[in-house]
Amino acid sequence: MFEFILLPFMQRALIAGILVGFLASYYGVFVVQRGLGFLGSGLAHAAFGGVALGILLDQEPLLIAVPFTVVVAIGITYVKNKTNLAGDTTIGIFFSVSMALGIIFIFMKRQYTSDAFNYLFGSILAVSLTDVIAPAILILITLIFSPFWKRWAYTSFDRELAQADRVPVQFDDYILSVLIAVTIVVSIKVVGIVLIAAFLVIPPAASRLVNKSFSRMTIFSIIFGISTAILGLWISYYLDVPSGATIILLQAFLFFLVMTLKKVYS
């Protein structure tokens, strides 16, 4: 039943799944609390533009997608802070431009490539050593920025009060946007570009249903994210179905289960 653990590609997939589960769930609590669910979707589609450019240039797509998506994240934050446009409007503009560029880059390739499919929908078989190292490095970076957690949490609950207390809210917006962007890029091989936004939202949303404390919400979100990533990879391997879709369906099941249990016992 557990012989799949002996397979090298599954070992890489499980490690990547655990790391991605931690990162997406950790940053997802800020996405959910700040109502930035559309930001995850926008940056995921921006990552498609970077991946497509990497495929066109015959380079490692991840290495191209990271700076590409970071630039888009900075651009979204800058335009949102410097104009009166709503956040979803700004995201929609960059979302559309990035997707359009991605489509053009894929068209210019002039030949079929399975890489685009793997990045769009996620694939256990496609997880490489790079896909394990990248999220591991990001977790180290996350630990370096861990002292910022209290500031981010404070701003997430009351942005105006945080500004009044001279918290560098806009500076923190840039840092958080960049870290979320990189999280999305390093996660897409496991979950897929199409579904990574859901990975950022569902575990923290399920956690929010049962936790009022932001710290407990973060802890439970990480537990939900990691456990569903592991179980989803295992199920997808035995059923021979896309890993990303399996993980998201499992998370959705968990969300509705938590919601039902809360109604029954509240």
Give the tens place of pLDDT for each residue, 16-36.
889 999 999 999 999 998 887
Please tell me which residue, 27 or 237, carries the higher pLDDT value: 27
Query: What is residue 1's predicted lDDT score, i.e. its pLDDT?
Result: 57
pTM of the model: 0.89
> How many CA atoms are closer than 13 Å to the CA of 132, on its beta-carbon side?
13
Which of 15-24, 86-95, 194-203, 215-224 has the lowest average pLDDT? 86-95
- DSSP H helices in the chain: 8-33, 37-56, 61-82, 87-109, 114-121, 129-144, 149-157, 159-164, 169-191, 196-210, 214-239, 243-265
Query: What is residue 12's predicted lDDT score, i.e. its pLDDT?
Result: 86
N-terminal to C-terminal alpha carbon distance within the chain: 38
Residue 226 scores a pLDDT above 80: yes
> How many CA atoms are closer than 13 Å to the CA of 4, on its beta-carbon side?
18
Q: What is the pLDDT of residues 150-200, one digit of tens each?
A: 899 988 888 888 888 888 888 888 999 899 999 998 888 788 887 888 889
Q: Which domains does the chain have, with CATH numbers?
A: 3-260 (1.10.3470.10)
DSSP helix/strand/coil, 124: coil
Which of 97-111, 115-129, 167-181 has the lowest average pLDDT? 115-129
60-93 core/surface letters (b: 16 or more CB in 10 A; e: else) = ebbebbbebbbbbbebbbebbeeeeeebbebbbe
If pLDDT is split at 50, 70 and 90, which confidence band does 115 have?
A: low
Q: What is the pLDDT of residues 48-78, one digit of tens each?
A: 888 888 888 888 888 888 999 999 999 888 8
Residue 5 scores a pLDDT above 90: no
Q: pLDDT averaged over the chain?
A: 86
Query: What is residue 223's predicted lDDT score, i.e. its pLDDT?
Result: 95
Query: What is residue 141's predicted lDDT score, i.e. its pLDDT?
Result: 94
Query: What is residue 254's predicted lDDT score, i.e. its pLDDT?
Result: 94
Residue 222 scores a pLDDT above 70: yes
Q: What percent of the chain has pLDDT over 70?
A: 95
Query: What is residue 165's predicted lDDT score, i.e. its pLDDT?
Result: 86
